[in-house]
């Protein structure tokens, strides 16, 4: 009896436990169901996708102004046609494809691709519909369940200039989407230039809306009075350092020529003009025509997509004597009292460097003023062979460290998109070529005149002019002056970068560059009302005619602009690059150019 009683009690407990478990489970499901259906309406969104639609509100990208507040980049409305494959029904395909100017095969392929992506999430069916097509489509959209229009904006450039600086916007690719959860298929992202470097500032923040639609696919209101909507936040405006008027003038001067102009405000490092020629209209890389036009530009033999101002690496030629003389003065290879005769050449050990006829004897000022190759070679060799250096490796490394401190051989690590560092010959390089004991100062003597194992970019040369203008320091060159407000200066570029050369030596170079323009090789470009200091350069080119180069700053007493100009295959620096620099300086300081004949000569030239 006792065993039967115990067995019955155990069975009763099991029964009660099972009943309790079933009731508890039921209560949990009922409570959850009540919460989902009555309290939290968000869960209805996915269940009721046939009457509700989640719409992404894309923010307008920030506008871009020039340094004077002139609008350079704005937004223009366009529309994307979106598709929800799970809602697509039978429709008049002939009318639909005629409306969008697509083929039936394209329609079927795009619908299939959308289904593969997701039957219940929207994707782009047709990108960047014009306002005219949008107006017609809106009236007929009720005939096409599963399709709706997504408002977007595209970039617009009122003046077709500064394409390389602005860069362009394109659709985010798989790599960008994988790297950043902000982006989804169909989103736009800055690909190059300012658009790329300041992407997170310009793009703003996307918003979302849950809208109700009727049986005819028309919006009839917002879900829950917009309780679950989030507002889009427009991108932040930028104020470029460019002077629009000066930029336009620079591009005009370089028409029908290959080369570059870089103008910098020495007191801030702000780039006033960044010209690469040939260039292109930035409007070509906007919207549906971008892919086709990009391919056309890429195949152009003149390489308009190549940014010569930041990416081209040239031997600087005689322009580099400014940097070499500074190193010589700093290390003691020459002094302000050094004087040498020039027979019209420098010859040593079977090497001959030719020079032009000029007044003699030559010192550090007149050596730059008349661009004496003999003086340049002597001072360079004297510097490397100073007794204080224990080896040629130590001597060249010291020389190179000074050169790098002036901004050569490295990038500026600023907002200059795709900038390249150029190259400056190093002891390690020559050790590899000749062996540690196989080279000496005469081996690398071509560096004295800016040739040989050396490559500089135009922006680096402009920065050298700015450094001399500042008498020994520079601010990192950059193309965005302010963020959000014209007075909110870009905080990343406010620190002075001091060179390893004493400022007293820069005073000597400033005087020498002034004499170069007053009575030396650059005298043809002298202006009566603006004092200019500069240095001409003729860059040897093994592939054809020499390049014309010039650097300058003005006014000498209170520099407002520093500049470098390179015109490819144009010959001497005094003939073309110096006049262009002179015109740019006159335009910037006086806001007009009065030397009509001087200007016309440049405009008529083609190389």
For the chain of 607 residues, list the mean pLDDT of each consecutive stretch of 10.
55 72 79 64 48 82 98 94 88 91 93 88 87 87 88 94 97 93 91 97 93 70 80 96 98 98 98 98 93 95 97 96 98 97 95 95 98 98 98 98 98 94 97 97 97 97 98 98 91 93 98 98 97 95 90 97 97 96 98 96 95
**C-beta of residue 480 within 8 angstroms of C-beta of residue 490:** yes
Q: What are the boundaries of each domain within the chain? A: 52-240, 244-298+306-594
CA 548-351-534 angle, 5° bins: 30
Q: What is the pLDDT of residue 46?
A: 45
Our measurement of the distance from residue 113's CA atom to the centroid of its chain's CA atoms, rounded to an integer in Å, reads: 35
Class of 52-240 per CATH? alpha beta
Q: What is the pLDDT of residue 218?
A: 65
Q: What is the pLDDT of residue 45?
A: 46
pLDDT in tens, 455-479: 999 999 999 999 999 999 999 999 9
**C-beta of residue 324 within 8 angstroms of C-beta of residue 380:** yes
**C-beta of residue 563 within 8 angstroms of C-beta of residue 465:** yes
CA 188-190-191 angle, 5° bins: 110
Can you list the alpha helix ranges (DSSP code H) found in 35-103? 42-47, 93-100
CA distance between the termini of the chain: 118
Residue 201: φ, ψ to 5°: -80, -40
3-class SS at 245?
helix
pTM of the model: 0.87
Our measurement of the distance from residue 437's CA atom to the centroid of its chain's CA atoms, rounded to an integer in Å, reads: 43
Q: What is the pLDDT of residue 131?
A: 82
Q: Give the whole-angstrom CA distance, residue 42 versus residue 44.
A: 5
Q: What is the pLDDT of residue 56?
A: 85
Q: What is the pLDDT of residue 176?
A: 94
Provide the 10 A C-beta neighbour count for residue 93. 12
Q: Give the whole-angstrom CA distance, residue 385 versus residue 281.
A: 52
Could you tell me which residues come within 8 angstroms of residue 528 by beta carbon, excluding any fewer than 6 positions away?
A: none
Answer positive or negative: Cα dihedral of 141, 142, 144, 148: positive
Question: CATH number of 244-298+306-594: 3.40.50.1240, 3.60.60.10, 3.40.190.150, 3.40.710.10?
Answer: 3.40.710.10
pLDDT in tens, 425-439: 999 999 999 999 999
**C-beta of residue 437 within 8 angstroms of C-beta of residue 461:** no
Q: What is the pLDDT of residue 38?
A: 60
């Amino acid at each position: 009896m006792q065993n039967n009683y115990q067995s019955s009690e155990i069975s009763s407990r099991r029964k009660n436990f099972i009943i309790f478990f079933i009731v508890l489970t039921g209560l949990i499901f009922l409570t959850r169901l009540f919460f989902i259906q009555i309290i939290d309406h968000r869960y209805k969104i996915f269940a009721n996708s046939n009457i509700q639609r989640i719409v992404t509100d894309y923010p307008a990208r920030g506008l871009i102004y020039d340094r004077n507040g002139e609008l350079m980049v704005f937004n223009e409305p366009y529309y994307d046609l979106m598709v929800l494959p799970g809602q697509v029904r039978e429709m008049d395909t002939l009318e639909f494809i005629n409306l969008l100017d697509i083929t039936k095969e394209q329609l079927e392929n795009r619908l299939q691709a959308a289904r593969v992506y997701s039957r219940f999430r929207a994707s782009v069916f047709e990108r960047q519909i014009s306002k005219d097509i949008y107006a017609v489509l809106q009236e007929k959209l009720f005939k096409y369940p599963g399709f709706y229009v997504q408002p977007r904006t595209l970039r617009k450039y009122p003046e077709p200039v500064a394409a390389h600086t602005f860069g362009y916007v394109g659709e985010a690719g798989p790599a960008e989407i994988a790297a950043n959860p902000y982006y989804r298929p169909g989103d736009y992202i800055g690909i190059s230039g300012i658009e790329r470097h300041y992407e997170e500032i310009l793009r703003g923040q996307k918003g979302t809306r849950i809208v109700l639609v009727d049986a005819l696919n028309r919006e009839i209101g917002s879900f829950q009075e917009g309780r679950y909507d989030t507002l889009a936040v427009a991108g932040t405006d930028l104020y470029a350092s460019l002077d629009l008027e000066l930029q336009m003038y620079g591009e005009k001067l370089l028409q029908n020529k290959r080369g570059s102009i870089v103008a910098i405000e020495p007191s801030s490092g702000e780039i006033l003009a960044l010209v690469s020629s040939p260039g292109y209209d930035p409007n070509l890389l906007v919207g549906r025509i971008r892919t086709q036009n990009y391919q056309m530009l890429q195949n152009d033999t003149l390489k308009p997509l190549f940014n010569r101002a930041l990416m081209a690496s040239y031997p600087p030629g005689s322009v580099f004597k400014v940097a070499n003389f500074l190193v010589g003065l700093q290390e003691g290879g020459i002094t302000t009292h050094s004087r040498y005769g020039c027979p019209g050449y420098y010859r040593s050990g079977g090497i001959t460097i030719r020079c032009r006829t000029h007044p003699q004897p030559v010192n550090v000022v007149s050596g730059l003023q008349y661009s004496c190759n003999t003086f340049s070679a002597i001072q360079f060799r004297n510097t490397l062979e100073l007794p204080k250096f224990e080896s040629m490796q130590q001597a060249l490394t010291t020389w190179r460290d000074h050169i790098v401190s002036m901004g050569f051989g490295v990038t500026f690590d600023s907002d200059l998109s795709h900038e390249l560092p150029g190259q400056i010959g190093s002891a390690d390089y020559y050790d590899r070529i000749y062996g540690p004991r196989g080279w000496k100062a005469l081996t690398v003597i071509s560096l004295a005149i800016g040739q040989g194992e050396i490559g500089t970019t135009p922006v680096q040369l402009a920065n050298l002019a700015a450094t001399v203008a500042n008498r020994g320091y520079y601010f990192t060159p950059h193309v965005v002056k302010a963020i959000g407000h014209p007075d909110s200066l870009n905080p990343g570029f406010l620190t002075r970068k001091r060179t390893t050369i004493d400022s007293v030596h820069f005073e000597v170079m400033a005087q020498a560059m002034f004499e170069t323009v007053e009575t030396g090789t650059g005298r043809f470009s002298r202006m009566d009302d603006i004092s200019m200091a500069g240095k001409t350069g003729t860059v040897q080119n093994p592939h054809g005619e020499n390049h014309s180069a010039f650097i300058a700053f003005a006014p000498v007493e209170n520099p407002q602009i520093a500049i470098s100009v390179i015109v490819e295959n144009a010959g001497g620096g005094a003939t073309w690059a110096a006049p262009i620099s002179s015109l740019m300086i006159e335009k910037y300081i006086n806001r007009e150019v009065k030397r009509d004949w001087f200007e016309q000569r440049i405009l008529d030239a083609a190389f």
